[in-house]
C-alpha cells in the first residue's frame, strides 16, 4: 500500500499534468473507494450532487450500494457531469469516441502517473481503494461505518452492519474527509 507521502507526490504529478479527466478519475477512485470495474460503469444519472453520493449498480457480487464523495468535490464533479451531458454522454467517463472507459484503460492512466512520479510500485485502483479505507480507519472511523461504502461483506459483521444507516456512515465520512491528504 502506498504511503501518504507517495499519494501526495503521485497526485502532484497528476495535478501538474493538467489533464482534467485524469484528475477526476483518480479523485473519484480515491475519494469513493470504488473498484475499477464499478468506476467504468458509473452513469451520470448515478451521481447525486445534492447528497454527495454515487450509486454503484451491480457492483461486486451484483450488489448495489451508495458511496460518498466530499462536499468540496461536488462543484468539479457537477461541472464534469454537465459538460458530459451536453455531449450526450451516458457514462461519467467516456472516450472521445463516446465509449465508456475500460478497466485496462483506467489502469494504464494510473500506471502512467506512477512512472512519472518515480514510484517503485505502481499505483493501482485497488491500492487507492485500500489506501482510503485504511486512512479512514486510522482517523478512528469504525469498520461498521466503512463497510457500507466498501461493499465488503463478512458473516461476522453482517448483523452489526445491517443496523447502521447510510446517514450515520455519511456523517462520519464527512467529518474526516476534509483532512484527506489531497
Active centre residues (catalytic): 35, 60, 126, 129, 152, 161
Q: Give the pairing type, strands 65-68 and 53-56.
A: antiparallel
**Torsion, CA 169, CA 54, CA 58, CA 37, rounded to 10:** -110
In eight-state DSSP terms, residue 94 is: B
118 neighbors 12 (Cβ within 8 angstroms): no
131 neighbors 65 (Cβ within 8 angstroms): no
**Beta-carbon contacts of residue 28 (< 8 Å; ≥ 6 apart):** 34, 39, 42, 54, 69, 77, 92
Amino acid at each position: 500500500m502506498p504511503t501518504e507521502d507517495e499519494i501526495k507526490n503521485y497526485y502532484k504529478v497528476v495535478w501538474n499534468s493538467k489533464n482534467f479527466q485524469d484528475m477526476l478519475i483518480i479523485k473519484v477512485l480515491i475519494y469513493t473507494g470504488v473498484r475499477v470495474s464499478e468506476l467504468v460503469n458509473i452513469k451520470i444519472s448515478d451521481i447525486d450532487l445534492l447528497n454527495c453520493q454515487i450509486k454503484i449498480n451491480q457492483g461486486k457480487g451484483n450488489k448495489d450500494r451508495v458511496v460518498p464523495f466530499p462536499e468540496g468535490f461536488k462543484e468539479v464533479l457537477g461541472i464534469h457531469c454537465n459538460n458530459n451531458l451536453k455531449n450526450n454522454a451516458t457514462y461519467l467517463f467516456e472516450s472521445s469516441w463516446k465509449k465508456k472507459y475500460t478497466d485496462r484503460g483506467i489502469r494504464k492512466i494510473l500506471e502512467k502517473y506512477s512512472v512519472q512520479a518515480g514510484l517503485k510500485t505502481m499505483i493501482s485502483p485497488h491500492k487507492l481503494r485500500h489506501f482510503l479505507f485504511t486512512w479512514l480507519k486510522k482517523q478512528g472511523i469504525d469498520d461498521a461505518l466503512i463497510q457500507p461504502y466498501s461493499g465488503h461483506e463478512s458473516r461476522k459483521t453482517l448483523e452489526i452492519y445491517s443496523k447502521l444507516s447510510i446517514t450515520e456512515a455519511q456523517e462520519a465520512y464527512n467529518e474526516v474527509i476534509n483532512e484527506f491528504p489531497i
